[in-house]
Amino acid sequence: MSDKKSKFWPRIAYSCGTFGHDVFYAMLGTYFMIFVTSNLFHSDNHEHDAYMIGIVTTIILVLRIGELFLDPFIGNTIDKTKTRWGKFKPWVIVGAFVAAITLAILFTDMGGLTVSNPMLYLVLFAVLYLIMDIFYSAKDVAIWSMIPALSFDSREREVTATYARIGSVFGGQLVTAIVMPVVLYFSLNENGGAGDSAGWFAFAVIGGAIATLGAIILGLGTKEEDSALRENKTETSFKDVFSILIKNDQLLWVAIAYLVFGLGQNVINNFNLYYFIYVLGDAKQFSFLGVINVIIGLLAVALFPTLTMKFSRRRLFFGSVAVMLVGIVLYAMAGTSVLMTLFAAGLFALPQPLVFLVVLMTITDTVEYGQLKLGHRDEALVLCVRPLVDKLAGAITSGMIGITAIWVGMTTGATAATITPENLFNFKLVMFALPFVLILLGAIIYRAKVTLTEAEHARIVEELEEKWDEMNQ
């Protein structure tokens, strides 16, 4: 009983951290681009505003893709960190604080610079976005890299990850439920249901505060497990970082499959609010999707340990993909029916936490796979791959969102009534047809190349325990 109690509170603290983390992730990955396309540029020259949206979108895309090359080195630096508070927690807390402040500033026009001095605005935007992204990345890598440091048991990792994902699902979907009520409450002008700059800034401040508080709770309530298996005799040099990632073939193939899958998933998730604003013409109904997704997301995650006892991770992955594909088809057929839209979008969202957990657990298990294969343990370096892939998918998606919004006329001042049938068709083509193909392709790659199972991981850990001291001599 005492053992269960001792594990319960660290799990809760960890889930508080992931709760705040996904609040921030949703703000950055989904709603920041809506702010950019619908509120950031508001001059009298529509063509100039569209041009500026394109420039900002390009800056985000270039910075996020460029910063991808830094993530493995961030992971490597975290692996080398030694403090009395552990390896990961300082990065989680400091990263949360800096990222929250910089993102709040980005949710403004910086005192009207978008109109008075657009060039200065773009320079400051690029600098602040880069700072925000680096510290967010450090936090992202650190927070998810903690899982293999908390336990070596695959089953215990699944339980911990389940608690973490419950927190992250609740955090991410809470944002979906509150974003428009918060934005519209603090807005001076509803702006056709899209809110104004004051409302979006208030939303950013509240979200950043929640993310920072969650990070502090995680820092206070968790403790890394000490073990000889976590001690390397030599450190991974910067020049070896990419070599280690490439040589871990199971890690590489999981990453590729998840990237392709994630692109499809992100496109729909990022376009959801656009659909409610510019197709349904009722952004307030979007909150119901948030409530639905919180309920079904928590249910899905809570069932994950039970499901993995009855089904292998592979079967769970493919079953989840099948449900998501059905959801896409129904979503594409929903038209202007709010009920059909909510049902289809909810069905699409239902398995997403399960896919995330399967991928996360598989990547986590590649820590020991790579350790046995390469003779070196790199927790944060390996675990940085999942946020790295998420970031790459997010960067590409942000670019697609911005370009598509301009292409189909879903920018500042537009309403559902102003969207032409041709533009509506083009929008649905990008939102539904493309993701269907990408998600299916990701599943095909996973089936063909990812072979690391739960049983194989258990065998690897057993072999490591027998040979690790000998391998490090």
Interhelix angle for 352-374 vs 249-275, to 10°? 160
CA distance 7 to 43: 55
**Helices vs. strands in the chain: H and E counts, helices first:** 21, 0
Query: Longest Cα pair distance anywhere in the chain, in angstroms?
Result: 71
CA distance 100 to 224: 25
Look at residue 242 in the predicted model and tell me its pLDDT: 67
Which residues fall within 8 angstroms of residue 276, CB to CB, at 6 or more apart? 282, 283, 285, 286, 289, 341
pTM over 0.95: no
Look at residue 3 in the predicted model and tell me its pLDDT: 54
Which residue segments constitute the domains of the chain, with CATH numbers given?
12-223+237-471 (1.20.1250.20)
CA distance 323 to 403: 29
CA distance 285 to 289: 7
Using CB atoms within 10 Å of the CB of residue 445, give its burial: 0 to 12 exposed, 13 to 18 middle, 19+ buried.
Answer: middle
Which residues fall within 8 angstroms of residue 335, CB to CB, at 6 or more apart? none
Using CB atoms within 10 Å of the CB of residue 446, give its burial: 0 to 12 exposed, 13 to 18 middle, 19+ buried.
Answer: buried
Structure tokens at 469: 């001291």
CA distance 275 to 281: 8
CA distance 456 to 52: 52
Query: CA quadruple 223, 218, 250, 310: dihedral positive or negative?
Result: positive
Q: Which of 121, 123, 122 is nearest to 110 (CA)?
A: 121
CA distance 317 to 148: 21
CA angle (417, 420, 425) in 5-degree steps:
120
* Residue reference for tokens 């992202």: 140
What is the pLDDT tens value at each position of the chain, 473 positions in all? 445 556 788 888 888 999 999 899 888 877 888 888 877 877 777 787 888 888 998 898 888 888 777 777 777 777 777 777 777 888 999 999 999 999 999 999 898 888 889 899 999 999 999 999 889 988 988 887 777 666 666 667 777 777 887 888 788 878 877 888 888 888 887 766 667 788 899 999 999 999 999 999 998 888 776 544 444 444 444 455 567 778 888 999 999 999 999 999 999 998 998 999 899 988 888 888 888 888 888 888 788 878 888 888 899 999 999 999 999 999 999 999 999 999 999 999 999 989 988 998 898 888 888 888 887 777 667 777 777 788 788 888 888 888 898 899 888 777 888 899 999 999 999 999 999 999 999 999 999 999 888 888 888 888 887 776 665 55
